[in-house]
Copies of this chain bind each other. A is one copy, B any other.
Amino acid sequence: MTGTVWGICSAGSISNDFCLALVNNGSNVAAVAASDSGRAKQFATDFGLPRSYGSYEELANDGEVTVVYVGSVHTKHMQDALLFLQAGKHVLVEKPMGVNEGQVQQLVAAAKEKGVFLMEGFWTRCFPVVRRVQDLLDGGSLGRALHVCSDFGFKAPRADLTHRLWSKDLAGGGLLDIGCYVLQWASLALGRDALPEFRAVAAVGETGVDHHASIILQYPAGGTAMCSYSFDCAFHDRTVIKCERGIIWVDEMAHAPTKIRIMTVAADGTTATEDVEVALPRHTRDCGGRTVNFGNSEGFQYEVQEVERCLAEGLKESPQFTLSESALQVRLMDAVRKEIGVAYPADVA
């Protein structure tokens, strides 16, 4: 066994952030592929990678690469990930794994057939303070989780309506980009293997995609959640999990968090509060002067470590965000899109 060797599919802004985390984690990265070979070459030079390719097929044929990170646009995730799975590579696909459940199920089936690892890049779940939240919820000291309130938004510039965020053809809109984060909080606390009932209200803009929405959810076990996301308001990103015997606050930036506050209520009604903070890993290696494009991207290291741990242990999926949770979440998002009237070209394919 030679250990995990990474390949990078697509040299865009999210791949930049992911590769910075890989390099700073000391991981072994062998190659990058982009449809623009010049861009791939520059990426390889900056990051000090041995090889670059002008096509994804060449990366799929790279015999040294054991796992590929897919960082292409939403609408290409399925076909790109499929290429690597079919070549027998393990795959980490940036979220959303597919733009609808059909796409996700195809990937899950391909991974199973090839016996390789597959994970949707829900990096939130790999952050240390989120693992602490999970432990608290599973451990029972706060009692059952009863209600989740999660809210994430920012003001996305409207100058260019052909930008992927506003583009129906590129599976734009808030739900797949940021709505998925608020939904995974509900799922984490109230039922990781359950499909909730829901109601949604939303604003769908001139390009046919959702700018903002509010969704209320009711899980089979009885918990409820209210989740909202927005491309229209100033930055906000907080989550609260209310339990029978306490409350967990996940502070900004809750989708990639470093701070939580835990309030525990004792039997006599007195409360105790604990603040937990785990600072982000720091990036110290120079990669051609590159910096992160997205907030808290240094936290990609936690996801890298989780994938490498799973591969070292021979797991085919990560317990932090299982394939069944990926499938449930996209099924829910499909239903939400149906309710709010957002359909992508890929839905009818």
A32, B310: Cα distance in complex, Å: 72
A228, B199: Cα distance in complex, Å: 14
Instruction: Tell me the interface secondary structure of chain A in the complex.
Output: strand
A149-B149, A201-B199, A224-B203 known; A234 vs B214 contact (CB < 8 Å): no
B-binding segment of A58-66, A87-95, A215-223, A299-307: A215-223
A74 at the interface (CB under 8 A from B): no
Interface positions of A from 224 to 243, Cβ below 8 Å from B:
224-228, 230, 232-234, 236, 240, 242-243
> Are B230 and A234 neighbours in the complex by a CB distance under 8 Å?
no
A222, B211: Cα distance in complex, Å: 12
Of listed A225, A233, A263, residue having the most chain B CB within 10 A: A233
* A199 interface neighbour in B149, B199, B227, Cβ under 8 Å: B199
A164 at the interface (CB under 8 A from B): no
B-binding segment of A22-30, A244-252, A286-294: A244-252
**Distance of A158 from chain B, by nearest CB (Å):** 12
* A216 interface neighbour in B153, B214, B240, B242, Cβ under 8 Å: B214
**Distance of A224 from chain B, by nearest CB (Å):** 5
* A200 interface neighbour in B146, B155, B216, B247, Cβ under 8 Å: B216
* A230 interface neighbour in B147, B202, B246, Cβ under 8 Å: B147
Look across to chain B and name the residue whose beta carbon is closest to the beta carbon of A153: B242
> Are A216 and B226 neighbours in the complex by a CB distance under 8 Å?
yes
> Are B244 and A232 neighbours in the complex by a CB distance under 8 Å?
yes
Chain A residues with CB under 8 Å of chain B are: 146-147, 149, 151, 153, 155, 197-203, 212-218, 222, 224-228, 230, 232-234, 236, 240, 242-247, 263, 265, 271
Some 13 contacts from A to B, beta carbons below 8 A apart, are A146-B230, A146-B233, A147-B153, A147-B214, A147-B230, A199-B201, A199-B216, A201-B218, A214-B226, A233-B242, A234-B247, A234-B263, A234-B265
